[in-house]
Chains A and B, each alone.
Chain A
Amino acid sequence: MSDLNKLGIAEARDALKAGDFTSVELTESCLSAIDAASALNAVVHKTPDFALEQAKAADARINSEDAPALCGIPLGIKDLFCTKGIPSQAASAILDGFKPEYESTVTTKLFDAGAVMLGKLNMDEFAMGSSNETSTYGDAVNPWRREGDDTNLTPGGSSGGSASAVAADLCMAATGTDTGGSIRQPAAFTGITGIKPTYGRVSRWGIIAFASSLDQAGPMTKSVRDAAIMLEGMCGHDPLDSTSADLPVPNFEAALTGDIHGRTIGIPREYRMDGMPGEIEKLWADGTAMLKDAGAKIVDISLPHTKYALPVYYVIAPAEASSNLARYDGVRYGHRAKLDQGDGITEMYEKTRAEGFGPEVQRRVMIGTYVLSAGFYDAYYNRARQVRTLIKQDFETVFADGIDAILTPATPSSAFGLGEMADADPVQMYMNDIFTVTVNLAGLPGISVPTGLDKQGLPLGLQLIGRPWEEGDLLNTAHVLESAAGFVSKPGKWW
């Protein structure tokens, strides 16, 4: 059987259970697709032997009928997740050669559920970036191209390899992580679905830390149903993460009733930015009409502190990163610089970190160091935490007023060309996260769903933001939007 790699989780699950093919066949199909897709640079550490072993075990389990939903499903894993004995280096040179002695909670849960790991996926270094151009492995490439143009485009970032691999059918689905939009923006750039759950829903243990109060992992998939299935496999309380919520994990797939009658959807006026491209405005209006047609009530809402979200983010995220990345000192793991005669421990730290961290990571660590330094802590860090409280209160107010979910664009544009932002100042790149970053600051669940193509033939996505812990309801609304939009386009194969 050919083209098994093009399946999604739900279809593959049902076919595996029916005995139409085996997990080994499915896995081999993905491994061949990966081998033929080196031009995308999405998979940076291939693990075919490991995958086939897992697939054999999964087949035995499927036959014994003790098979969870993810049993035998081949996935890609973002390089940010620690995987035991397999390189895990957050796309950074400073973790060259690092092979964890332990397994992250998320990958443990996925493997316990029978999932198969095909390999580790490209990303921005330490998840800092919106274009996958800060990776030590080089750029990941978007399988989509502009019509009649062979410019390589960014798959977005930081989960760019995950987005590219899923969109190009190299795997059924992939893990991503999202600190300011790193699941939702690449999902939108590649025409796939990506959900960042409520902060605390998924354990952060064993995920290489960027900004601990914002980081959350989630699935990147070919459909909303697949997102529901995979999210359930990733969630759950974990004593190893003190911020992991001790709440039962709902059956998210069962929440996909397709019925949103009586639901109230908020349209936040502050997200209508000056200079917003007409295509994005139309996409947003079309999405609003689809939800209305499906029986939802549409309400204009205000989230007054929206414009301060990116400035707040660029204090809090670098501050936390400067602290989290202090551990990369050339002592316990990864790279250590070659030292000159007479160099002491300070030179070892400084040279190791200058060689190991790329420019964007260095910049953010230093910004974080500055905003936390004596004399500036109150003006920057404390003020950012106060404004963050106000941003969260904006959402609490609209939810208290009866809003069930909020509809916004996912990104301010479609995918741009690799290298096209090279001369832009860092702040311009940061604008990519303008619609997604508020969700991390408020700890809410957010999902990006592909709903259309722009005039260049590139995918565009809409974002739905839900109430805390109500991912099931959010997924259901997303499912309705997905069905109404009927987005079925795939990138033409050029790689």
Chain B
Amino acid sequence: MSIDTDTARRVAKLARIRVEEDALPALAGEFNAILGFIEQMQEVDVEGVEPMVSVTPMRLKRREDVVTDGDQQDKVLANAPDAREGFFAVPKVVE
């Protein structure tokens, strides 16, 4: 399987990372090197093998469905690049 410039452009878009048009061919080349390496996996017989979900067998713990945290708006916003009036501010999303 080979990645072309169009696929590299689409992946960059999906990952929300801006990649300039002239950088796409080199990026596609790197993807191909890495995917070519990964490709070795295809020779393994995985018939009937369960895909791993958890590396240590464990049941997730349950707890009462109650509020355990909260009421710390200032702390939540303290590191925001743009916080206004108790909210995160972003460019206009809805017209």
Interface residues of chain A, those whose CB is within 8 Å of chain B, are: 97-101, 198-200, 213, 239, 242-243, 245-246, 305, 307-308, 310-312, 314-315, 322, 326, 329-336, 339, 343-351, 353-354, 357, 362-363, 365-367, 369-371, 373, 379-380, 382-390, 392, 425-427, 430, 441-443, 468
Residue B90 at the chain A interface, CB threshold 8 Å = yes
Contacting A at CB under 8 A, from B14-47, are: 14-19, 27, 30-31, 33-35, 37-42, 44, 46
With beta carbons under 8 angstroms apart, the residue of A315, A332, A371 that contacts B79 is A332
Indicate if B58 sits at the interface (CB-CB under 8 A): yes
Residues of A within 8 A of B85 (CB): none
Check if A389 sits within 8 Å of B49, measured CB to CB.
Answer: yes
A331 touches B42 (CB 8 A): no
Contact across chains for B14 and A387 when beta carbons are under 8 A apart: no
Chain B CB count within 10 A is highest, among A200, A371, A384, A386, for A386
Which residues from A are CB-within-8-Å of B80? 331-333
A246 CA / B88 CA spacing, docked (Å): 37
Q: Shortest beta-carbon distance, B78 to chain A, in Å? A: 6
Chain B residues with CB under 8 A of A362: 15, 17, 19
State how many residues of chain B have any CB contact under 8 Å with chain A.
Answer: 50
B55 touching A442, Cβ below 8 Å:
yes
- Cβ–Cβ < 8 Å partners of B72 in chain A: 101
On chain A, the residues within 8 Å of B52 by CB distance are 385-386, 388-389, 392
Quote the shortest CB–CB distance from A304 to chain B (angstroms).
10
Q: Is the CB of B81 within 8 A of A311?
A: no
Give Cα A107–Cα B83 distance, bound, in whole angstroms: 29
- Contact between chains at B16 and A383 (CB < 8 Å): no
B80: nearest chain-A partner, CB-CB: A332
Known A387-B41, A389-B49; judge A314-B56 contact (CB<8 A).
no
Most interface-central of B40, B63, B81 (chain A CB within 10 A):
B81
Which residues does B use to contact A, with CB under 8 Å?
A: 3, 7-8, 11-12, 14-19, 27, 30-31, 33-35, 37-42, 44, 46, 49-56, 58, 60-61, 63, 72, 75-76, 78-82, 88, 90-93
The answer to whether A365 touches B17 (Cβ under 8 A) is yes
Given the complex, which residues of B lie within 8 Å of A427, measured CB to CB?
33-34, 37
Q: How far is the CA of A101 from the CA of B72 in the complex (A)?
A: 10
Shortest CB-to-CB span from B4 to chain A, Å, is 13
Do residues B56 and A311 form an inter-chain contact, with CB atoms below 8 A?
Answer: no
Minimum CB–CB distance from B90 to chain A (whole Å) comes to 6
* B15 pairs with A366, CB closer than 8 A: yes
Query: CB distance B41 to A384 under 8 Å?
Result: yes
Residue on B nearest A373 in the bound complex, by CB: B14
Q: How far is the CB of A101 from chain B (nearest CB, A)?
A: 4
Decide: A386 and B58 in contact? CB cutoff 8 A.
Answer: no
